[in-house]
Amino acid sequence: MYRTCIYCKSNSMKTFKKIAGYTLVKCNTCLLVQTAQPSFKNRNHINQVVYSDEYLGNYLKREKELKLRFRQRVSEIEKYKI
């Protein structure tokens, strides 16, 4: 697990929660909660498999589906407005 805060670059992270198969880690410096990052080796594998040329080539064909998914995610996030 790669445990450097993406915001402040601190290495002081601890497991916060596990939800739906994802591990959330919390930065002890800036308190940002983020998903735990996979190792460099696993990230390379994900980039090659998940973000393959086939996936990226079909991106524009999936425009409507992706826009709908984006709007749904924003709607979910807006429920947590302070």
Instruction: State yes or no: residue 34 binds Zn ion (CB under 5 A).
Output: no
Token reading at 59: 């991106």
Minimum distance between the CB of residue 8 and Zn ion, rounded to whole angstroms? 3
Give the chain's radius of gyration (CA, Å).
Answer: 16
Instruction: State yes or no: residue 33 binds Zn ion (CB under 5 A).
Output: no
Minimum distance between the CB of residue 3 and Zn ion, rounded to whole angstroms? 11
Instruction: State yes or no: residue 29 binds Zn ion (CB under 5 A).
Output: yes
* CA distances in angstroms from 3 to 34, 45, 52, 62, 74, listed in the order given: 10, 18, 26, 33, 26
Stretch that binds Zn ion, among 8-16, 18-26, 41-49, 68-76 (CB under 5 A): 8-16
